[in-house]
Amino acid sequence: MPHELLAKARPTQARAHLEVARDAACGFLLPHSPRCPAHVQQLLRDKAAEHGFLLVDLPSVFGPLPDRTLFLDYSHLTLEGIRIAMAEVADRLEALATSTKSQRGLVEIDPGEEAAAHFLAAIHNAHYGQSHDVVRHHCAAALDLAPGASELMLGFLDCLHGSAEPWMCESFEVLSSWPNVMRYLAPADQRVMTRLADVTLEEAIVDVLGLSEAQSEQDGDLDGTIDLLESRYHSSTYREDRGYADGPQPAYRRAVDLVSTFHLGCAAPAPLRLRLTCRVPGANGHAPPVAVRVNGVAIGELPSTARWATTELEVPEARTQAGVNRIEIMWPLLEPRWEAQLERAALRLERGVRPDVLPAFGEVHALTVHR
């Protein structure tokens, strides 16, 4: 984070700071996207020179800071990126020592397939926590390449709001008719088949297709009880869903940010009743209370306690809306008990279990909503 901020503050040195930020996550026992650290890159360059290997150094080929014209996400190349990379490879091989420019024009694919790649990139970027701007860019690019890509987007929205598993929805057959989409959204891959709270992706699709939120199906009339700890209401990214550590997952949600956000889709405004069971690690009786907000408006609070405590909160109909409702738990900022946390981490390492690297501001055992 510090180097990401420095990159924004010092644009002329952005690349150096972003590379340090990229490498900083490695070795901290945190799950992260695939990446090639700077020291590994340099080792590949050194060994290629030492053994006389031909080297295509894409960071040098692509220039200062490659953008969306070259990359779909953190590693996968766009068609233009593939053209440039493969032209450089061809240019290095004596058997294919043709002009780089002439080689680039030989790589062509069906616009529909390229559109599918962009929509899959939108899904992938959303699930890795990228901004609305990035996700919308890929949705718009898919629609520009092939108007039929709207079927993909509408099919995905239908799967998103269905009550059955995504692969059991009729709209999944539409998605499966595109081979590349079926390859990515494979039912055997539990991660991509987990229904997440795809708020950013849904907003981007609604935007590029010119829909209103009312035209985007929501989660029904809320009859019965809804468990907001399910992935589809709580987790917008793989990291949020699988946790911020690689060890055994606890039977509750750990809040590693000061705000825990849950997303509830409603067909129309309606009064709600929330039931929350939570605790605040390290609370000593003098900590500020835990506050709960709905759509940015405070609807209640409860005392901070280190023991599990349950409370019920009424949400007036006037505080809800048709479309996505954001329910937020605001945790107090307490001084971390570093000594106890380090001791707990050491004990877990001795047992061969990876420790929790990030401190928890709060923990939620249950959060339900019903009318």
Whether 257 and 322 map to the same domain: the answer is yes
Instruction: Mean pLDDT check: name the lowest of 34-43, 180-189, 233-242, 347-356.
Output: 347-356
High-pLDDT (> 90) share of the chain, %: 50
- On the question of pLDDT at 237 being above 80, the answer is yes
The pLDDT of residue 49: 93
Do 162 and 233 lie in one domain? The reply is: no
User: Does residue 253 sit in the same domain as residue 160?
Assistant: no
SS3 of residue 60 by DSSP? helix
Does the pLDDT value for residue 332 go beyond 90? yes
Residue 254 has pLDDT above 70, yes or no: yes
Residue 221 has pLDDT above 70, yes or no: no
Q: Is residue 143 a contact partner of residue 207, using CB atoms and an 8 Å limit?
A: no
> Residue 257 sits in which domain range?
219-371
For 178-195, write each residue's pLDDT tens digit. 888 988 988 888 888 889
Report the pLDDT value the prediction gives residue 331, as an integer from 0 to 100: 97
Is the confidence at residue 23, as pLDDT, over 90? no
Is the pLDDT score of 29 beyond 70?
no
Residues 204 and 275 placed together within one structural domain of the fold: no
The predicted pLDDT at position 285 comes to 77
Domain C-terminal end among 186, 217, 248? 217
Q: How many domains does the chain have?
A: 3
Other C-beta atoms lying within 10 Å of the C-beta of residue 88: 18
- Same domain assignment for residues 196 and 277: no
Instruction: Compute the CA torsion angle 361, 363, 368, 369 (nearest 10 deg).
Output: -10
The reply to whether 231 and 366 lie within a common domain is yes
What's the full length of the chain, in residues? 371
- List Cα–Cα distances, 350 to 40, 220, 236, 353, in angstroms: 30, 48, 33, 7
Q: Are residues 246 and 172 in the same domain?
A: no
Model confidence at 290, pLDDT cuts 50, 70, 90, reads very high
pLDDT tier at 162 (50, 70, 90 boundaries)? confident
CA distances from 184 to 116, 145, 308 (A): 10, 20, 41
Average pLDDT over residues 151-160: 91
Q: pTM of the prediction?
A: 0.83
Asked if residue 107 has pLDDT above 70, the reply is: no
Residue 239: the pLDDT is 85
Distance, in Å, from the CA atom of 93 to the CA atom of 217, rounded to the nearest integer, reads 54
Q: What is the structure's pLDDT at 165?
A: 86
**Is the pLDDT at 66 greater than 90, yes or no?**
no
Domain shared by 169 and 237, yes or no: no
CATH label of the domain that carries residue 310: 2.60.120
153 and 231 co-located in one domain: no
**Are 207 and 243 contained in the same domain?**
no
Average pLDDT over residues 68-73: 92
> Final residue of a domain: which of 108, 141, 156?
108
Q: Reply yes or no on whether the pLDDT at 215 is more than 70.
A: no
Last residue of a domain, one of 48, 77, 108: 108
- What mean pLDDT comes out for the span 303-311? 94
b vs e for 247-281, b when ≥16 Cβ sit within 10 Å of the residue's Cβ?
eeeeebbbbbeeebbbbbbbeeebebebebebbbb
Over residues 332-336, the mean pLDDT reads 87
Residues 118 and 22 in one domain: no
Q: Are residue 225 and residue 362 in the same domain, yes or no?
A: yes
- Please determine, for residue 77, whether its predicted confidence score (pLDDT) is greater than 70: yes
pLDDT score for 130: 93
pLDDT in tens, 338-349: 888 888 888 888
In this prediction, residue 364 carries a pLDDT of: 97
Give the chain's radius of gyration (CA, Å): 24
| Inter-axis angle of helices 111-127 and 149-161, nearest 10 | 30
Q: What is the pLDDT of residue 218?
A: 55
